[in-house]
Structure 1
Amino acid sequence: MGHISADVGGQDVGQDVRQDIGHTADGEVPGDTGRRRPRLTSGLTVRAKAVLAAAGTVAFAIGLCMLALVLALQHNLRASADLDARNAAVAIKGQLAQTRPAPQRALIVAPGAVTIKDVSGRTVTPTMPTETGSQQTEATPQDAAGSTMLPAKPLEPVQAGQRYSVKVSPSTTAVDNATGLLLRQAAPAAAGLVLFVAGLTWLLVGRALRPVAAMRQEFTEITERDLHRRVPVPRARDEIHRLARTMNATLDRLHRAMTRQRQFVADASHELRSPIAAVRAQLELVLARPSRTDWPAAVHKALRDTDRLQAVASDLLLLARLDAQEAPRTAAVDLGALAEEEVRRHPGALTLAGEQERAAVVTGSRVQLSRLLTNLADNARRHTRTTVSITVAVRGGRVELAVDDDGSGIPEADRERVFERFTRLDDARARQDGGTGLGLAIANDIAHAHGGTLTVLTSPRGGARLLLCLPRTDVAQP
């Protein structure tokens, strides 16, 4: 520890303090309660993790506060002890320098040990003038009250004007006692506060996670047979509320997809059953009357039904690929050139209206876009009275392909339903013409897969207009 020095007979009082800051008297390091424990995340529930996080945070904060409080208290008490030692050194200096008679026994109040040296550095005891002559007194040990007794003994007298160095060590008793008392009193309160926060967090998190347990229980009971069930949505509009709404929205999509799949399987079974039943009936009839059967006509009928089976199977396979979102090979495709090829395959039934755009280029699968155009043209040819016209135009950053007929058109109430699978507005006519009810559904899926849209409008020719819009691709002009 440090000490305070005062020069007797001189003008200045010096101070020499050596301190060991940061350690208490009993060797403890303040703030031990704020040490972080290793995080144990594996196997712990969210509730336990929240409790550990809250308790650890509070303990760390309390440890920092206690450390700051101990350091501030030690600093203030040491400063006060240094000041007391300085004042005591000055007082002793004054008593040694006096020339008037002094009592036989002097009482000097000092906070710590007193050391007196002369100018040569030799430790001496002060001499106190008395009535019978000059006497020198020897310093005795410090008493319990912090006072130093100087008993009188006959020694050599103190010379007037002689310089003496008086050193008084600051007392560390107050610092040690205050630090120990603070730690002993604050530690139980800090532990109690941490336990209180842990218990409160356990209760609050458990109450907050109660809806999650109900959602989990309900969700585990949902199977593919009862996708209509939904998880309970809590009233509080918090993260759990949004999670429940997201889960219900996902269940809605799954329910719609499952319903659509079941309906698709039922419709596909119905579509395949009809031509299979027709072929079976024809074969049974032929076998029943082999001698009276027109074999060429029977074979032609069977071939027509087989073609219908093949068309349905091909459409179902293409729809399955579109539903799986298989990425086809893409390249720059000129819709104007595709329209010209389609017209050349059906001369007289299809015509190109107006002057075709030369830069109507899109990015996509040429095979799928060709199938889209073929489905639109076939659908229009089945319902038109005369011919079908195809128009290709560029509108800003989009390419538009319109297929127009002069038939009866499509009512506005059915313009969304025509894109559903196995939908026929004129069922008898569609079956007679060989339609599967999948053409427009396939065309709509291909349009969406290429980032475009397919809509039904009223044609200027009086019938229906199927308008395809696709993003245009910039190509370098030669």
Structure 2
Amino acid sequence: MDSTVDRTAVFKSLVVPMQVLTPDFVVAAANDSFLKLFGRSQADLLGRDVFAVFPGNPSAPNDPDVQGAVRMRASLERVVATGQRDTMALQRYDIEASGRPGVFEERHWSAINSPVLGPDGEVKLIVHSTEEVTDFLQELRLFGEHDITRARSELEAMRTGIYARARELQELNEELKQAHRQHRQTALMLREVIEGQRRFVFDASHDLRNPIAGLLTELEVAIAEPDSDLPQILRKMLRDAERLNDIVNDLLELARLDAARPAATELVDLTHLVIDELERRTLTVAVATRLDEQVVVHACRIRLARLLDNLLANAVRHTTTAIEITVTADPPDAVLEVIDDGPGIAPADRERIFERLRRLDDARRRDPGGSGLGLPIAREIAHTYGGRLYAADHPTGARFVLRLPLAA
């Protein structure tokens, strides 16, 4: 479509008589057909209240049967209130005969008031379009007043039905457009999921190949060189086997989490959980704790222990001197934080680190054997029990925050 079309010129040249009103019924524009039909100029109309310009039928101002100003105002008010098009019943408004001042000819009109909505949904303008039906009504009179009334009633019913069907079609069209948009969004989401799964399988296969290649290499050396240091070869093979076992366990855990089959829940005191896990582990760095009493959640203790273990393993890899663990109640949440004093996480990377198999350069340097699955598994466990796990701001080092709903 040509974007250089002069819309003002198009409006002025429309055959259907039209005038444009503001929401307070001031004339903002009128096309040439309207001006010619009513014998007015732009100066007569623009900037004036429409009811001051057309106060009522000029040939019978006091006749209630032909007084259309009240109906016109009511129609315009409905458009402003509802933001919907309003079709008026047939109106009589006589026009001064050409070349005969003071002599008015009977005229009958069919009018429609249509809203022009702004971005906020409010009515900004009203388009008043009108069409003369005088000749049609005069032909109906040939059939007598009774037939006129009946024909008029049938005509009104027909027109009402047509506009009702038109509105229904418009609403159905909007529903179809909305359904199409939702379908496209769903298709895009499915495409992203499939692409994510493809990348995940590729990356997981790549990570599995490294320890397998190591095992094959050590076996080939042991076979080809009988005098080689067998205990040293076995130690290397053991490390590769442990690496394989860790990756497989992580993949199985993710598969269980993705299957949406959470383990049975129980009441878990986060403070006791932290104390038990610290006693069970042998850490190579100092750990400071600040643990409140009676911070209890509904979850699977084994999976929460896995979550905490993954956070501790990550902190140990990156810390410089010490790790801090806190457990507090911040209703309606229980809050567990693991903080290290390492290099920290850039704000742009705080969501990336929770992507499966995503490992930042610093993590690869500090632990080349890491799988990149620990933090994603920890977040999936948090989500399973209605919680959140995220990386937050901290002056020095990284700060991981777990929030779970407190048990009632």
Q: TM-score, normalised by structure 2?
A: 0.56
Change (3 A) 1:346 1:459: farther
- Secondary structure of 2:359 counterpart: coil
- C-alpha separation between the residues in 2 aligned to 1:294 and 1:371? 37
Aligned to 1:467: 401
Measured after TM superposition, the shift of residue 236 of structure 1 is: 7.9
CA contact (8 A) 1:406 1:459 kept: no
Question: Cα deviations across residues 92-146 of structure 1 (Å, max 9, x unaligned)?
Answer: xxxxxxxxxxxxxxxxxxxxxxxxxxxxxxxxxxxxxxxxxxxxxxxxxxxxxxx
> Out of 254, 271, 274, which is 2:207 matched to?
271
Quick one: distance in 1 between partners of 2:363 and 2:350?
Answer: 16
- Structure 2 partner of 1:73: none
* Equivalences for residues 31-430 of structure 1 within 5 A: 238-291=174-227, 293-347=228-282, 349=285, 351-354=287-290, 356-425=291-360, 426-430=362-366
Looking at CA atoms only, which structure, 1 or 2, has the larger radius of gyration?
1
Q: Secondary structure at the match of 1:328?
A: coil
Q: Which whole-Å CA distance do the structure 1 matches of 2:282 and 2:219 have between them?
A: 37
Q: State the Cα deviation string for residues 338-373 of structure 1 (Å, max 9, x = none).
A: 11112112355352423x221210111111111000
Match of 1:473, SS state, is coil
Query: Structure 1 stretch 345-354 or stretch 261-270: which is displaced more?
Result: 345-354
Deviations 1:8-37 (A, max 9, x none): xxxxxxxxxxxxxxxxxxxxxxxxxxxxxx
Moved over 4 A (4+): 234-237
Amino acid at match of 2:403: C
Identical pairs, percent:
42
- Please give the alpha-carbon distance, in whole angstroms, between the structure 2 residues aligned to 1:353 and 1:397: 22
SS in structure 2 of the partner of residue 393 of structure 1: strand
1:215 counterpart residue number: none
List per-residue Cα deviations over 1:146-196 (Å, max 9, x = no partner): xxxxxxxxxxxxxxxxxxxxxxxxxxxxxxxxxxxxxxxxxxxxxxxxxx9
Per the alignment, in what secondary structure is the counterpart of residue 241 of structure 1?
A: helix
- Separation in 2 of the partners of 1:343 and 1:298? 33
Q: Counterpart of 1:353 in 2: which secondary structure?
A: strand
Q: How many residues align?
A: 248
Q: What SS is found at the alignment partner of 2:392? A: strand
Separation in 2, partners of 1:244, 1:445 = 32
Instruction: Give CA deviations for 1:304-337 in whole Å, capped at 9, x if unaligned.
Output: 0000000000000110111111131011111111
Distance 1:319 1:430, change over 3 A: farther
Secondary structure (helix, strand or coil) at the match of 1:456 reads strand
Shift of 1:237: 5.6
Alignment CA distance shift 1:311-1:375 (3 Å): same
Q: Which runs of 5+ in 1 are unaligned?
A: 1-195, 209-233
Q: CA deviation at 1:439?
A: 0.3
Matches of 1:352 and 1:335, distance apart in 2 = 16
Residue 295 of structure 1 aligns with an amino acid whose one-letter code is: L
Q: Secondary structure at the match of 1:265?
A: helix
Q: CA deviation at 1:389?
A: 1.5
Spell out, residue by residue over 1:240-271, the C-alpha distance to the aligned partner (whole angstroms, 9 max, x if none): 11111121121122111101110110011001
Aligned-partner Cα distance in 1 for 2:229–2:288: 43
In the alignment, the residues of structure 2 paired with residue 316 and residue 249 of structure 1 have an alpha-carbon distance, to the nearest angstrom, of 29
Q: 2:187 aligns to what SS in structure 1?
A: helix
Give the secondary-structure state (helix, strand or coil) at the position aligned to 1:399. strand
Cα offset, 1:387, TM superposition = 2.1
User: CA 1:388/1:417 → structure 2, altered by over 3 Å: closer, same or farther?
Assistant: same
Q: Secondary structure at the match of 1:410?
A: coil
2:315 counterpart letter in structure 1: A
Which amino acid is the alignment partner of residue 273 of structure 2? L
Amino acid at match of 2:337: A
Distance 2:203 2:399 in 1: 27
Checking the alignment, whether the CA contact within 8 Å between 2:262 and 2:384 is kept in structure 1 is: no
RMSD: 2.8
Offset at residue 274 of structure 1 (A): 0.9
After TM superposition, the score normalised by the length of structure 1 is 0.48
CA distance in 1, matches of 2:171, 2:194: 29
The amino acid of 1:418's aligned partner reads I
Structure 2 residues not aligned, in runs of 5+: 1-157
Quickly say closer, same or farther: Cα 1:302–1:347, change in 2 above 3 A. Answer: closer
- Return the offset for 1:397: 1.4
Paired residue secondary structure (1:407): coil
* Residue 429 of structure 1, CA deviation: 2.5
CA contact (8 A) 2:340 2:399 kept: yes
Q: 1:314 to 1:287 in 2, by over 3 A?
A: same
Alpha-carbon distance change, 325 to 350 in structure 1, aligned in 2, over 3 angstroms: farther
**Superimposed CA distance per residue, residues 182-213 of structure 1 (whole angstroms, 9 cap, x where no aligned partner):** xxxxxxxxxxxxxx9xxx9xx99xx97xxxxx
Q: Structure with the greater relative contact order (CA < 8 A, sep ≥ 6): 1 or 2?
A: 1
CA contact (8 A) 1:388 1:404 kept: yes
